[in-house]
Amino acid sequence: MQVLSYSGSQLVDLCSALLLLTCFAIVAQRRLSACVDLFALQSAFLVVTTALVAYLTGNQHLYVAAALTGVIKVIIIPRVLKKVIDRLNVKRELVMYVTVPAGLLICGGLVMLAFFISQPIIPLGFLLTRDSLAIALAIVLIGLFTMIARQKAVTQLVGFLVLENGLFLGATAATYGMPLIVELGVFFDVLIATLIAGIYTNRLQDAFDSVDTNQLTVLKE
Amino acid sequence: MLQAIILVLAQVTVLLAVSPFLVGLIRKVKARLQLRRGASVLQPYADLAKLFQKQPVISTTASWVFTATPYIVFASTLSAGLLVPTFISLNPMNFAGNIIALVYLLALGTFFLILAGLDAGSAFGGMGSSREAIVASLTEPAMILSIFAIALTNGSTNLSTIVHRTALLEGTVTDPSPQLMALAALFIVALAETGRVPVDNPATHLELTMIHEAMILEYSGRYLALLEWAAGLKLALFLSLIANVFAPWGIATTAAPAAMMIGLLVYLAKTAALAVVIGIIECMFAKLRLFRVTDLLGVAFILGLLGLLFFYTLRS
């Protein structure tokens, strides 16, 4: 059992590290559809991580959460976003507040910050999720940064979803999953938020011929 | 002593023999994925044999740098290859240098290639050299950082020691998170250093985007053969580095003949699998614009840095 939980802990660490890796790929990526694909990939890694934690801890309700993540975040949300991108007919995001290398450096700094903050907490935590908490915090910060640094509404939405993935990983790592009813509520919220933001993006396109959120600042009563 | 010499010679032979095969395999995978039949995987051997028989033509403006470069590049790449364990983890050349020496042996070859590109006085060569200088200066920090991350998790900078220790653990990777970051960084570096698709396109000639091919455009005959072989060696070297440091399973940990045979077969399988992955990547991605290459190498740098961060902040 000891050996199993040791290599299990390594597997969970590995999957969390893969989540972080995809985060950086999203930050470095300029094409919108590739961003959405990477988000789907990241969610797939999240499914694996959650299922692993469920298997290793025996918390049955985490399997439900993993399955829901799979259906909603790997299949439904990327499809909705792809439809939005198709309709908008924008392939790449040319307007960013920060250049890609600068964004990467900032994200590196954010990860450093997240690691330093979570360093004192980690020895108190469970053996199974040694790195996950720090990584989850880092992913939340990177998601937040993506929302701030990108101008187009679609990538801001991807940033929001990445942030949510980080929160979910954090919840799984720190407490071995929230109560099922809370998780269901969160999934429903995220799905509705994505749908609303998709519709809002389409309206933005109709009103301004652009999904640049900067244009919203010129709105007057 | 005699055994050590035989092992070194066997190692050299394996590297020299495998490298054209890997190049051919990548070409074959690419051809099959593009619904072409493609040349045989043994074609690079025939190319090398043909080139060695041809008479080289040298520009009248070229200096000694031009003729010395193929030998320097080949020798430095081969001696770097001696430091990487291939099928046996106990490398007799372990005392001679660590991973830092390996990085700088490769850099020596790159430096002379850059000089030789400028030396012949053709416009393409100069352009290739300046581009190679950009790429080389950006890959080096990424490579060093990822190598430090590997060295820290294993407690040694000697490649053979790293591989031997990991291999003796029998299947469990010592510390997955920093290793994964270092692996991703090293893979991007390998693509950039060996002139593979997101950075450079090895399949084109006389195109404004090429880097490595532009530098060696003036070479012909046996000089070209040596440079092509050296490029193949560099590829084989990076693939063995990735395969043996991150997945040393199956490598021979003793000098027993049976273990070495298994080690050799596993080594061939692993490097061939990596070559197939590279072939698939070359089909899936377009070549980046030159000024986007910095983004990709920036990712590699940050990932190498993250590997170190994992170690320093989370493990201390």
* Residue B208, pLDDT above cutoff 70: no
8 Å CB contact between A100 and A30: yes
Using a CB–CB cutoff of 8 Å, tell me whether A10 touches chain B.
yes
Using a CB–CB cutoff of 8 Å, tell me whether A119 touches chain B.
yes
Q: Which residue intervals of chain B are DSSP H helices?
A: 2-33, 43-53, 64-82, 99-119, 123-154, 159-168, 176-193, 212-215, 221-246, 257-284, 293-309
B203 three-class SS: coil
| Interface predicted TM-score (ipTM) | 0.84
pTM of the full structure: 0.89
Residue type at B260 in one-letter notation: M
Using a CB–CB cutoff of 8 Å, tell me whether A16 touches chain B.
yes
Residues of A in contact with B306 (CB under 8 A): 20, 108, 111
Q: Do you know the residue count of chain B? A: 316
8 Å CB contact between B73 and B113: yes
How far is CA B217 from its chain centroid? 20
* Residue B60: band (very low, low, confident or very high) from pLDDT cuts 50, 70, 90: confident
Q: Which of A14, A100, A111 sits opposite B306 (nearest CB)?
A: A111
Residue from B303, B78, B297 nearest B189 by CA: B297
* Residue B236, pLDDT above cutoff 50: yes
User: 10 Å Cβ neighbour count for A79?
Assistant: 12
Per-residue pLDDT tens listing for chain A (221 residues):
455 567 778 888 888 899 999 999 998 888 888 889 999 999 999 999 999 888 888 888 888 888 988 998 899 999 988 888 888 776 666 667 788 888 999 999 999 999 888 888 777 766 566 778 889 999 999 999 998 888 777 888 889 999 999 998 988 877 777 777 877 888 888 888 888 888 877 777 777 777 777 777 776 66
8 Å CB contact between B147 and B228: no
A104 and B302 within 8 Å at the Cβ level: the answer is yes
DSSP letters along B234-262, please?
HHHHHHHHHHHHH--TT-BSS--HHHHHH
A134 and B314 within 8 Å at the Cβ level: the answer is yes
User: Vertex B236, ends B230 and B99: CA angle to 5°?
Assistant: 90
Q: Do you know the residue count of chain A? A: 221
Which residue does chain A place closest to B298, by CA atoms? A101
Which phi and psi angles does B88 have, rounded to 5°?
-130, 135
Tokens in use for A18?
A: 């893969």
Residue type at B80 in one-letter notation: A
DSSP letters along A147-173, please?
HHHB-BHHHHHHHHHHHHHHHHHHHHH
pLDDT confidence of residue A127? 59
User: Vertex A52, ends A47 and A58: CA angle to 5°?
Assistant: 120
Residue type at A24 in one-letter notation: F
pLDDT confidence of residue B207? 64
Quick one: angle between helices A180-208 and A77-88, nearest 10?
0
* Residue B171, pLDDT above cutoff 60: no
Residues of A in contact with B180 (CB under 8 A): 14, 17-18, 21
Question: Which of A21, A106, A110, A127 is the best residue to mutate to test the B interface, defined by the most B CB atoms within 10 Å of its own CB?
Answer: A21
Q: From the CA of B117, how many Å to the nearest CA of chain A?
A: 29
Which residue does chain A place closest to B174, by CA atoms? A10
B21 three-class SS: helix
Which residue does chain A place closest to B305, by CA atoms? A108
CA–CA distance, A75 with A90 (Å, rounded to integer): 21
Using a CB–CB cutoff of 8 Å, tell me whether A134 touches chain B.
yes
Percent of chain B topping pLDDT 90:
46
8 Å CB contact between B136 and B194: no
pLDDT tens-digit series, residues B272-308: 999 999 999 988 888 888 888 888 899 999 999 988 8
Q: From the CA of B168, how many Å to the nearest CA of chain A?
A: 16
Cα-Cα-Cα-Cα dihedral of B150, A23, B30, B182, to 10°?
Answer: 0
pLDDT confidence of residue B316? 67
8 Å CB contact between B68 and B219: no
Residue from B83, B58, B59 nearest B233 by CA: B83
Average pLDDT, chain B: 88
* Residue B260: band (very low, low, confident or very high) from pLDDT cuts 50, 70, 90: confident
A104 and B306 within 8 Å at the Cβ level: the answer is no
Residue type at B60 in one-letter notation: T
Residue A197, exposed/middle/buried by CB under 10 A (0-12, 13-18, 19+)?
buried
Cα-Cα-Cα-Cα dihedral of B264, B227, B25, B35, to 10°?
Answer: 180
CA–CA distance, B234 with A33 (Å, rounded to integer): 35
Residues of B numbered 150-209 whose beta carbons fall under 8 angstroms of chain A's beta carbons: which are they?
A: 172-173, 175-177, 180-181, 184
* Residue B126, pLDDT above cutoff 80: yes
A100 and B314 within 8 Å at the Cβ level: the answer is no
A107 three-class SS: helix
CA–CA distance, B215 with B130 (Å, rounded to integer): 9
CA–CA distance, B69 with B91 (Å, rounded to integer): 28
* Residue B29, pLDDT above cutoff 50: yes
pLDDT tens-digit series, residues B95-124: 777 888 999 999 999 999 999 999 888 888
Which residue does chain A place closest to B314, by CA atoms? A119
